[in-house]
Amino acid sequence: MDAAKRLATLNRIRKLSRLMDTSIRIPGIGFRIGIDPIIGLVPGAGDLISTAFSAYIIYLATRFGIPRQDLTKMIFNVGLEAVVGTVPLIGDLFDAFYKSNIRNLEILEQHLTVIEPEIEEVSVEFYASKKR
């Protein structure tokens, strides 16, 4: 995969992670949630849909050659959120606070700063140019 595709994939992971975990700011308290705990309110299917989104994010992360121990951490994060998420109400609160997709994004970005620091530099330049 060339640098442009890698950057596009990284940006897709960032957007999906933020959508799932931090896209909505709760007025007054400033706490951020995503659509993950909201989808989780749908009995049965909600947790499956959320887990499928999270699995897709992990799939995209594997394109970067992420090490097995990091991949294991990512799968654990999603698995824990999926298992606890099945408990009505408590699971949805856990989803809102645990934010497995953001945790997984941090694992991926840590890996990339060590392995491919140039992709992070290009990414920062890309975001700076969009703010203008």
pLDDT of residue 117: 73
What pTM was computed for the model? 0.86
pLDDT of residue 42: 87
pLDDT of residue 103: 97
Structure tokens at 132: 């203008």
32 neighbors 26 (Cβ within 8 angstroms)? yes
| pLDDT for 24 beyond 70 | yes
pLDDT of residue 106: 96
pLDDT of residue 126: 46
Structure tokens at 28: 């007054």
What is the per-residue DSSP string for 31-91? -EE-HHHHHTTSTTHHHHHHHHHHHHHHHHHHTTT--HHHHHHHHHHHHHHHHHHTSTTHH
What confidence tens digit (pLDDT) does each residue in 48-105 have?
Answer: 999 999 999 999 999 999 999 999 999 999 999 999 988 888 988 999 999 999 999 9
- Structural domain harbouring 48: 3-131
Which of the residue ranges 28-37, 60-69, 118-127 would you say has the lowest mean pLDDT?
118-127
Domain count for the chain, please give it: 1
| pLDDT for 4 beyond 60 | yes
Share of the chain above pLDDT 70, in %: 89
Nearest alpha-carbon partner for 64 in 17, 15, 18, 120: 120
Q: Which stretches does DSSP call E strand in the chain?
A: 24-25, 32-33
3-state secondary structure of 66: coil
C-alpha 23/C-alpha 17 separation (Å) is 9
Local structure of residue 26 (DSSP, 8 states): P
